[in-house]
Chains A and B, each alone.
Chain A
Amino acid sequence: SQKIEQNSEALNIQEGKTATLTCNYTNYSPAYLQWYRQDPGRGPVFLLLIRENEKEKRKERLKVTFDTTLKQSLFHITASQPADSATYLCALDHPHRAGNNRKLIWGLGTSLAVNP
């Protein structure tokens, strides 16, 4: 079955540097992959979606790459700020039994701390 691995250790970086978070999967390549941000006591908030035929997607200071050969997505935050401190979750689509329905399966997330 599909497994998702994200860095279990917290990532600490200095303000202004680029944060790079990793999402690896073990089995088939998903049709698309999503990244979410979750703050303590809050629900996940969608950030970016990248499809299997896209190598890279950008939104402001965020960049996501998708390498189906390596079975990996990288999530970058450039010019990081203390306000970027949160847990970042990746999620992959997964077929759900018969029919066209799919569901998302989630990584455990990586905690990012940006120090001023």
Chain B
Amino acid sequence: DTAVSQTPKYLVTQMGNDKSIKCEQNLGHDTMYWYKQDSKKFLKIMFSYNNKELIINETVPNRFSPKSPDKAHLNLHINSLELGDSAVYFCASSIGRVGTGELFFGEGSRLTVL
């Protein structure tokens, strides 16, 4: 039974398209995150939500819009995709308020923009 699941695992798309990645956690955690891991393997936080409330927005372009319909789901929509958006996007969750305690990660969604 997967704790943090994200779909799709792979996306290949053209520049200018719009795409979405979905994430669900069944751990009962209050906080969820989106991270971006680039080709150099650097892991950087993008957004964090606590009980559906946006807590961290780490100077991400407006083309990225997260949505949390409930505390178990955090989706990421990306408009007008650019080459530099190619990366692996990880969803994660944690107990309690943002930035405390261990993170549980999904398997990642590899986005390739052509």
- Residues on A lying within 8 angstroms of B by beta carbon are 34, 36, 41-46, 49, 87, 89, 91, 93-94, 96, 100-104, 106, 108-109
Contacts and interface: CB of A to CB of B under 8 A. Distances in A.
Contacts, number: 60
A64 B44 CA distance: 23
A42 B6 CA distance: 12
Contact of A42 (B41, B42, B55, B107): B107
Contact of B98 (A89, A96, A106): A96
Interface string B91-113: 01000011111111111100000
A107 to B, nearest CB: 9
A108 B41 contact: yes
Contacts of B12: none
**Is chain B's binding surface mostly helix, strand, loop or mixed?**
loop
B105 A43 contact: yes
A91 B44 CA distance: 11
Interface string B43-66: 111001000000110100000000
B107 to A, nearest CB: 5
Given A41-B108, A106-B44, 11 more contacts: A34-B103, A43-B105, A44-B103, A46-B102, A49-B101, A87-B41, A101-B48, A101-B99, A102-B99, A103-B45, A109-B41
Given A103-B48, A106-B43, A109-B41, A49 B105 contact: no
